[in-house]
């Protein structure tokens, strides 16, 4: 995958590979020891319904970075 600056990801819409709008990228978590990116933290759309991923106490959805399929106008993740 090509390099992408984090500032270009902030606020990017996130869509599932099935075409469903999931929400907007809120943040990205990182493993401090390894430096590897871990999860996308998504502020979900109201229409998302029940998420098949972990949800934190603020209601944000955590999607493993390994699920990212493409980053263009939207971030596309495998659902």
Looking at residue 63, what is its pLDDT?
94
pTM: 0.83
Q: Decide if 78 contacts 69 (C-beta within 8 A).
A: yes
Encode pLDDT of 3-49 as tens digits: 766 677 778 999 998 888 999 999 999 999 998 999 999 999 877 66
Question: What are the chain's domains?
Answer: 6-77 (2.30.30.240)
Are β-strands 37-44 and 61-64 bridged in parallel, bridged antiparallel, or unpaired? antiparallel
């Amino acid at each position: 995958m090509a390099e992408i600056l984090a500032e270009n990801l902030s606020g990017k819409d996130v869509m599932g590979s099935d075409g469903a709008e999931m929400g907007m990228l809120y943040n990205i978590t990182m493993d401090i020891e390894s430096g590897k990116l871990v999860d996308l933290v998504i502020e979900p759309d109201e229409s998302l319904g029940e998420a098949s991923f972990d949800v934190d106490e603020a209601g944000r959805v955590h999607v493993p970075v390994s699920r990212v399929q493409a980053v263009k106008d939207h971030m596309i993740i495998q659902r």
